[in-house]
Amino acid sequence: MALKIVKGSIDRMFDKNLQDLVRGIRNHKEDEAKYISTCIDEIKQELKQDNIAVKANAVCKLTYLQMLGYDVSWAAFNIVEVMSSSKFTYKRIGYLAASQCFHESTDVIMLTTNQIRKDLSSPNQYDTGVALTGLSCFVTPDLARDLANDIMTLMSHTKPYIRKKAVLIMYKVFLKYPESLRPAFPRLKEKLEDPDPGVQSAAVNVICELARRNPKNYLSLAPLFFKLMTSSTNNWVLIKIIKLFGALTPLEPRLGKKLIEPLTNLIHSTSAMSLLYECVNTVIAVLISLSSGMPNHSASIQVSLRSIQHYLGLLAMSKILKTHPKSVQSHKDLILQCLDDKDESIRLRALDLLYGMVSKKNLMEIVKKLMLHVDKAEGTTYRDELLTKIIDICSQSNYQYITNFEWYISILVELTRLEGTRHGHLIASQMLDVAIRVKAIRAFAVAQMATLLDNAHLLTGNTQRNGICEVLYAAAWICGEFSEHLEDPLSTLEAMLRPKVATLPGHIQAVYVQNAAKLFATVLRGQEGAPADRTVAQETSQLLIDRLPLFVQSANLEVQERASCILQLVKYIQKLQQKDVEVAEEVTALFAGELNPVAPKAQKKVPVPEGLDLDAWINEPPSESESEDEGRKPKGKAVFAKEESKHTKPRYTEVDEKELAKRREVRKAEQANNPFYIKASPSSQKVYQDGVGVEHIPVVQIDLSVPLKVPGMPMSDQYVKLEEERRQKDKADKKKKDKKKRREKGEKGRRRKGDSGPESEEDITPAHMVDITTEEMPENALPSDDDEKDPNDPHKKSSKHKKKKQKKEKEEKEKKKKKKHHHHHHHSDGAGDESVQNGNVEEEEPLPVSNQSSSIYSMCDIQGNLQDGSQVVVSVIFENKCDSFIKAMEFNVLDSLNSKLQRPEGAGPHDGLTVPFQLPPGISNEARFVFSVQSIVMPQKLKGTLTFIVKTDDSSTHEKLDFKLHFTCTSYLITTPCYSDAYAKLLESGDLKGSSLKLEGVSQPFHHLLARICFHHHFSVVERIGSCASMYSRSIQGHHVCLLVKTADQTVSIDAKCDEPGLLGNVLDEIKLTFSQC
Amino acid sequence: MIKAILIFNNHGKPRLSKFYEHYSEDTEQQIIRETFHLVSKRDENVCNFLEGGMLIGGSENELIYRHYATLYFVFCVDSSESELGILDLIQVFVETLDKCFENVCELDLIFHVDKVHNILAEMVMGGMVLETNMNEIITQVDAQNKMEKSEAGIAGAPARAVSAVKNMNLPEMPRNINIGDISIKVPNLPSFK
């Protein structure tokens, strides 16, 4: 017999055990999956053998494979076999495997009941222990029901090792089989006073888990826990108890008073941070439940909070904030400091806190700090988070804390210069919201929006993939809708009709087109007053007639439809103008009527039309007899109206009524308590307009050579100052006119009313709303259509477009950051006209085409493709300059060894690419071509030809145009932000080769110089100290290019480093060229 | 409740995974990957708590982790657990491993994942903390190992010999390579008594 065992084990010792398996996997790194599948085959063989040792070994290996993600449920039965082995070694392997892969739907589990019961009653405590451990992982309701009694007996086992496991597993049993709780509970309670600390701890654990689900039922245990808390020395138990008390105190305030003292003692005596923190947390919970006694304790708490890890401290503060905002507000500086923390989760927590801390007084200051953080924030997610937080903070409770909306608009405009944000639509909806609801701000907002539109290329050019261009949607709409405030509607109109607009997403183009028409109306009205300027009006019509066909060509149906509609209209107007008919009034009438914000309660106010029974069926439900109610069926229009309101109305009114009442109450309370809240006053509004009139805003001083900055942006800081001054003045006034306080109050309040329209919902009457919507819908019942609309968003279009936008953004992500290729003669002045600004390059030598001289004109943009290091995208804008129709354009480039035009599959290497559109006279359109480039070290020129057919009324001729494409090295660079520490690391790494460049006689200011390098050569500034700056860029193939730019006395020296010296040399040459031309 | 305990190395290779709720094998692997992704991008000197990944319950759960040399020890817990308490527990766990394996290193965990499971089972049971006292844990683990040895008895001897020979032949097993010394440097934390 013994011999047989030895023989068996000798056979076995050459089997693979777990260590061999692991070693084997490590030795087969290349074909791991294959190796494992052979191992699994071996395991299957081993499992077929009779020897339990072999089986156990196989199961042990399976457990390991399960961890690697292999499904081993097929071996469930074998696992049960191993579990039932009489040897502890194998039993343990079996239970471990079972605990890793069994779950409620494993069917062999029901076979285990008896085996487990046997193990539970085993004389060997470790057999029992292993069974309990395993069971805790895979207990099912059936097992729980069948074994509850056995486990309950074990709770009074003589060995504490078994007792504590039995106590702990009871929680799992309760979860699966709740009926067991009642009979087991007395015994569980008994275990709280078990002599063994382990058992005690287990009992506390279980009761705490139970109490978390339903604290009320466990209040009766409080005295027992209180005793434990003062007597126990086990930190884990203390933590659990203290956490439990935290949950209990809100239910029983008297408990809190008792707790404060022992907790404070613990806080002072314990050395364990974990315990300290939980104590503090509970003290906070206690203090929240007690309304008095706050001041003395809060100070000591906050001291201890600061010593605790920041994250948890912030978490705790957010709890205090809910009830005692004042005590947290004093820590504003501390929290602002947390925004500088390296840890993102700490920063996010701090942001949450800030949200609750703002008041009218500190809003500007806090937002200013946040804006600073936005500038230096690393990573787009955190920056996006900051952005949403800024907007949340400002717009919370209906812009309650904003005292100066001009400031807010300028903040929003500043935010548009964020690169890579996903929240363009959010900014856009805020702009719309404010512009619509705050009437007094419209003139200012319109001026800002007009500047935005004028500089649209800064938003679209570099950030097309990320949706910041959504703000153009808002900008265009605001400019159009409130065009009477525009200083120079004509130039805005011009800006909205630039060819580049065609690259914007469709829904934005649609808004552009529509609002161009509104602007047109404004221009006409403005001009026709003075008959001398009639030509201007006609020129405007001509402008529209010239530019609109571009939109008529659009692939987006909405754009197409609006454009062709307006085009025809304008053509008609032009005819009238030629006959000297005054049309301004008629055209203006098209857009007459003001759009008012809609009050949430407006819906409720819409009268139900007479004879409309909202509760009546339109069609009887089929189950009932049809003839019964036929007479009552409403007919015609009423059917439609009723259908509309039926599913929307009841829900809408009810919710809003409550909500509104609540909000009103909150606001009233707020006003009553807030000494700074004073009711409306137009007079101080005047103060504003005098102080910060539009002329004070440096809108005019746009420095177009600075890219990515929306002009007029550093303004928000000015507001902070102005606001301070104003407040100080107010204060002084107040002191002086202490007696007249009341009157002044009234004045200030009036200003508020004017300044912050949304505050007073009363002036938004539902009547307006009905007016607005009647255009689209019949009768009064129409507004019910708005049910989905967010009541706070008066411009429902924007929400409708959200989905579209998101989709669009996705598409755009696939494109890469735009890169612009500049040709030297356009560099002469960055502030040049718009089309040049967009970085377009007239293709070289547009050779005069035989008879129809220069019938086509094209511009191009060369962009590196971020996603593919070897691709460059060239966008070419073709413009038809002749009077004939151009079609069948074919674009072809002679490939060089290095650069190849990507042609569709199956096309020969010399075939041209068909341009996917035709050009009516005077129209331009854009096409993109992808080139694959192997080496990006050298600039190159490619020769190409464009062939096309010019079609006149009676004939058509083939034409050809030769051109050259110039790929500079700069066009392979991509503006990539880099942070100073990463930058320092990069320089330290020593992989980069240096080179330098000196420029003499550069007279422009340093920041212009930097801006120029950024703009033309796609660098980003890493750090700037005085007259010295470090800059960074990356090529599409991942080369790092670092510049150190210094300036002194008109001399600029640039030290450059790059891991590819050839590329660097060429880039430097190009930079030199840029500056030699200014 | 503890929802899961994961140990993986700096490259995200799982060294131990213990889920106290059932997930399919594929989901488990995704959770490990996601957790690794969340944890590994954090700096050394930032705090040890973060919100759980989407797969394992998102913001309802917290990830509490410690990073020792080449290994991450991650506990995913719900709101009933004390964050700092769990942090201490991780320390106890690692110190226990250190005692049981005598200078534990990553290789110990790689080749003896079953033993690690057994040690863990003495600390945490079904997602509830069973024991926080290190000496008690070690006593129980040792007692079980003794039983295992006595069961193997004479029959186990040849197998052990072969295993020793196998280990000798292979260059990767010797301790002096010391690929991943977990190196415990935080001796001041045994706050559980």
Nearest to A273 among B26, B84, B118 (CB): B84
ipTM of the complex model: 0.87
Specify the pLDDT at position A59.
Answer: 92
Interface A–B counts its CB contacts (< 8 A) at 193
B170 touches chain A (CB under 8 A): yes
| Residue A186 to residue A204: CA distance in whole angstroms | 14
Domain ranges in chain B are 2-148
Structure tokens at A943: 């020769």
Burial degree of B5 (CB within 10 A; 0-12, 13-18, 19+): buried
Is A201 in contact with B26 (Cβ distance < 8 A)? no
Nearest to B130 among A164, A243, A309 (CB): A164
Instruction: For residue range A533-579, list pLDDT tens digits in order.
Output: 677 778 888 888 888 888 888 888 888 888 888 889 888 888 888 88
Q: How far apart are the first and last CA of chain B?
A: 21
Question: Which residues 191-230 in chain A show a CB within 8 A of chain B?
Answer: 197-198, 201-202, 205-206, 208-209, 212
Is A202 in contact with B130 (Cβ distance < 8 A)? yes
| pLDDT over 80 (residue A312) | no
Instruction: For residue range A335-394, list pLDDT tens digits in order.
Output: 777 777 666 777 777 777 777 777 777 788 888 888 887 777 766 777 787 888 888 888
Q: How would you list the strands of the sheet with B49-51, edge to edge?
A: B14-19, B2-9, B71-77, B62-68, B49-51
Nearest-by-CA chain B residue for A94: B114
Is B125 in contact with A93 (Cβ distance < 8 A)? no
Helix%, strand%, coil% for chain B, nearest 5: 50, 20, 30
B44 touches chain A (CB under 8 A): no
Q: How far apart are the first and last CA of chain A?
A: 101
Specify the pLDDT at position A831.
Answer: 35
Q: Which residues pair with residue A872 across a beta bridge? A: A864, A931
* Percent of the residues in chain A that have a pLDDT greater than 70, as a whole number: 69
| pLDDT over 80 (residue A510) | yes
CATH placement of domain B2-148: 3.30.450.60
| Least Cα separation, residue A208 to chain B (angstroms) | 8
| Least Cα separation, residue B22 to chain A (angstroms) | 6
Is A22 in contact with B110 (Cβ distance < 8 A)? yes
Burial degree of A947 (CB within 10 A; 0-12, 13-18, 19+): middle
Is B46 in contact with A201 (Cβ distance < 8 A)? no
| pLDDT over 80 (residue A421) | no
| Residue A691 to residue A371: CA distance in whole angstroms | 24
Question: Any residues with CB less than 8 A from the CB of A155 and at least 6 apart, and which?
Answer: A163, A166, A167, A170, A184, A187, A188, A191
Instruction: Give pTM, 2 decimals.
Output: 0.48
Instruction: For residue range A169-216, list pLDDT tens digits in order.
Output: 999 999 999 999 889 999 998 888 888 888 999 999 999 888 888 888
For residue A23, the chain B residues in CB contact (below 8 A) are: 111, 170, 172-173
- Phi (first) and psi of residue A95, to 5 degrees: -65, -35
Least confident range from A330-339, A495-504, A1054-1063, B155-164: namely B155-164
Instruction: For residue range B82-134, list pLDDT tens digits in order.
Output: 888 898 899 999 999 998 988 888 888 888 999 999 999 999 999 999 998 89
| pLDDT over 50 (residue A808) | no
Categorize the per-residue pLDDT at A628 as very low, low, confident or very high, splitting at 50, 70 and 90. very low
| Residue B42 to residue B27: CA distance in whole angstroms | 23
Q: Map tokens 């139900």 to a residue.
A: A608
Average pLDDT, stretch A596-613?
74
Average pLDDT, stretch A458-472?
65
| Least Cα separation, residue A755 to chain B (angstroms) | 40
| Residue A399 to residue A395: CA distance in whole angstroms | 4
Angle at A1000 between CA A994 and CA A1002, to 5 degrees: 110
Categorize the per-residue pLDDT at A298 as very low, low, confident or very high, splitting at 50, 70 and 90. low
Residue by residue, DSSP assigns A969-1008 as SGGGEE-----HHHHHHHHHT--PEEEEEEE----S-HHH
What amino acid is encoded at A115 in this protein? Q
B34 touches chain A (CB under 8 A): no
Specify the pLDDT at position A327.
Answer: 60
Specify the pLDDT at position A315.
Answer: 66
Question: Any residues with CB less than 8 A from the CB of A822 and at least 6 apart, and which?
Answer: A839, A841, A968, A970, A1016, A1074
* Percent of the residues in chain A that have a pLDDT greater than 90, as a whole number: 10
Helix pair A253-269, A294-307: axis angle to 10 deg: 40
| pLDDT over 50 (residue B46) | yes
Specify the pLDDT at position A354.
Answer: 78
| pLDDT over 50 (residue A1008) | yes
Q: Which residues pair with residue B5 across a beta bridge? A: B18, B75
Nearest to A234 among B1, B29, B192 (CB): B192
What totals of helices (H) and strands (E) does chain A contain, helices first? 44, 15
Nearest to B85 among A236, A271, A341 (CB): A236
For residue B39, the chain A residues in CB contact (below 8 A) are: none
Least confident range from A20-24, A950-954, A1031-1035: namely A950-954
Nearest-by-CA chain B residue for A19: B111
As a whole number, the mean pLDDT across chain A is 72
Instruction: For residue range A859-913, list pLDDT tens digits in order.
Output: 555 655 555 667 777 777 777 777 778 878 888 888 777 777 877 777 777 777 7
Better-scored residue on pLDDT, A682 or A342:
A342
Specify the pLDDT at position A168.
Answer: 92
Q: Which residues pair with residue B14 across a beta bridge? A: B8
Q: What radius of gyration do chain A's Cα atoms show? A: 38
Specify the pLDDT at position B160.
Answer: 64
Least confident range from A67-81, A466-480, A833-847, B77-91: namely A833-847
Specify the pLDDT at position A743.
Answer: 46
For residue B152, the chain A residues in CB contact (below 8 A) are: 89
Nearest-by-CA chain A residue for B86: A274
Average pLDDT, stretch A43-54?
89
For residue A67, the chain B residues in CB contact (below 8 A) are: 14, 16-17, 113
| pLDDT over 70 (residue A792) | no
For residue A18, the chain B residues in CB contact (below 8 A) are: 111-114
- Phi (first) and psi of residue B4, to 5 degrees: -160, 150
| pLDDT over 80 (residue A691) | no
Least confident range from A101-105, A364-368, A498-502, A594-598: namely A594-598
Q: Map tokens 């409080």 to a residue.
A: A222
Least confident range from A391-400, A597-606, A873-882: namely A597-606
As a whole number, the mean pLDDT across chain B is 80
Specify the pLDDT at position A118.
Answer: 92
What totals of helices (H) and strands (E) does chain B contain, helices first? 5, 7
Is A641 in contact with A613 (CB distance < 8 Å)?
Answer: no
